[in-house]
Amino acid sequence: MKIVVLGGTGMIGSKVIANLTERGHEAVAASPDTGVNTVTGEGVADALRGADVVVDVTNSPSWDEQAVRHFFVTSTGNQLAAEEAGGVGHHVVLSIVGADQEPESGYLRAKVAQENVVKESGRPYTIVRSTQFCEFVRSIAEAGAEGDIIRLTNAYFQPIAADDVARLLTEAIVAPPANATIEIGGPEAIPLDELARRTLAHDGDPRTVVTDPEAPYFGAKVGERALTPGADARLGEVRFDDWLANNVPPK
C-alpha cells in the first residue's frame, strides 16, 4: 500500500515511516519541511495523490486555544477533502486518551473537535487515542516547577514509549478501517507526581516534587483516572522505569 504520513518527519511519524517501510509498504512522509501545509492546503492534494491510507500525526505549533482549534479543525478538513477527491480509503489520526473527559483544557477540546470532523466526514477512519508519552514526562514536570519545588497532580498516567506508540499505530494503519476509536497506553498506571520523582532521582535532580491534587495539567485540573485508558486498550510493552533507565536527560 501507499501510505502518506502527515507529520512524518516528527518523533512518532518517523518511527511509523520506518515500521511501514520494513513491512514493505510505500511510506511517504509529508510535512511543512516537504512543502505540505495542511492548514493552508498547500501541497496537500499532490501529497495525497494515489495514497491508500493517510495518517495524521501532526500537532499545532501554537498552544493558544483558538490557534490550536483552528489548526486541528482546518487541517483535518483539508486532509479529508483531498482524500475524498483522491479516493483514499482510510484516514488514521492520532489523538489523546481522555480528551473528552477534560473539557476545561482548550487543547483537549480542540482534539475532540478534530475527532468529530473525522467522524462526521463519512470517510472510512480509525481514531487512535494514546496516553501520554514517556518522552514528555520531563517537560510535563517542568511545567509545574516553581524554583526548587515542582508541584504536580497525583492523577494517574499510563505513560507509553514512543516506540510502542509507533508499533501500535502501525498495526491500526495496516488494518481495515475500524470506523471507531481505539485506545493505546503503557503497561502500568502511575501517578504523575510519582513519575516525576522517579525521573528526578534518575537524573540526579535535587528539586522536590510536591503533590497537589489541584495542580493543573495543560491548564486544567484532571480527574484521578481521566487520562488512563479503558479495559479494552491495546498496551505497550515498555515499562516506564525501563524506558527511564535507557534515556539520559537532555543537556
Rounded CA-CA distance 190/62 in Å is: 29
3-state secondary structure the chain: CEEEEECCCCHHHHHHHHHHHHCCCEEEEECHHHCCCCCCCCCHHHHHCCCCEEEECCCCCCCCHHHHHHHHHHHHHHHHHHHHHHCCCEEEEEEECCHHHCCCCHHHHHHHHHHHHHHCCCCCEEEEEECCEHHHHHHHHHHCEECCEEEECCCEECCECHHHHHHHHHHHHHCCCCCCEEEEECCCCEEHHHHHHHHHHHHCCCCEEEECCCCCECCECCCCCCCCCCCCCEECCCCHHHHHHCCCCCC
Q: Pick the range with the lowest mean pLDDT from 53-67, 97-111, 199-213.
A: 97-111
pLDDT for 149: 96
pLDDT reported for residue 116? 97
Residue-level pLDDT at 218: 76
Which value, in Å, is the radius of gyration of the alpha carbons in the chain?
18
Backbone phi, then psi, for 143, in 5-degree steps?
-65, -20
Q: Sorting pLDDT into bands at 50, 70 and 90, what band is 191?
A: very high
Superfamily of segment(s) 2-245: NAD(P)-binding Rossmann-like Domain (3.40.50.720)
Angle in degrees, CA 110, 116, 119, rounded to 5: 150
- pLDDT, residue 169, reads 98
pLDDT digits (tens, 9 = 90+) for 12-39: 999 999 999 999 999 999 999 899 999 9
How high is the pLDDT of residue 223?
86
Domain boundaries, the chain: 2-245
Query: Which band of pLDDT confidence, cut at 50, 70 and 90, is reported for residue 101?
Result: confident
Indicate the Cα dihedral angle 188, 193, 197, 202, nearest 10°.
50
Counting residues of the chain whose pLDDT is more than 90, the rounded percentage is 86
What pLDDT sits at residue 185? 97
Could you count the other beta carbons within 10 Å of the beta carbon of residue 166? Answer: 23
Check residues 223 and 183 and name the one with the higher pLDDT: 183
pLDDT at 203 over 70: yes
Which of the four pLDDT bands, split at 50, 70 and 90, describes residue 106?
confident
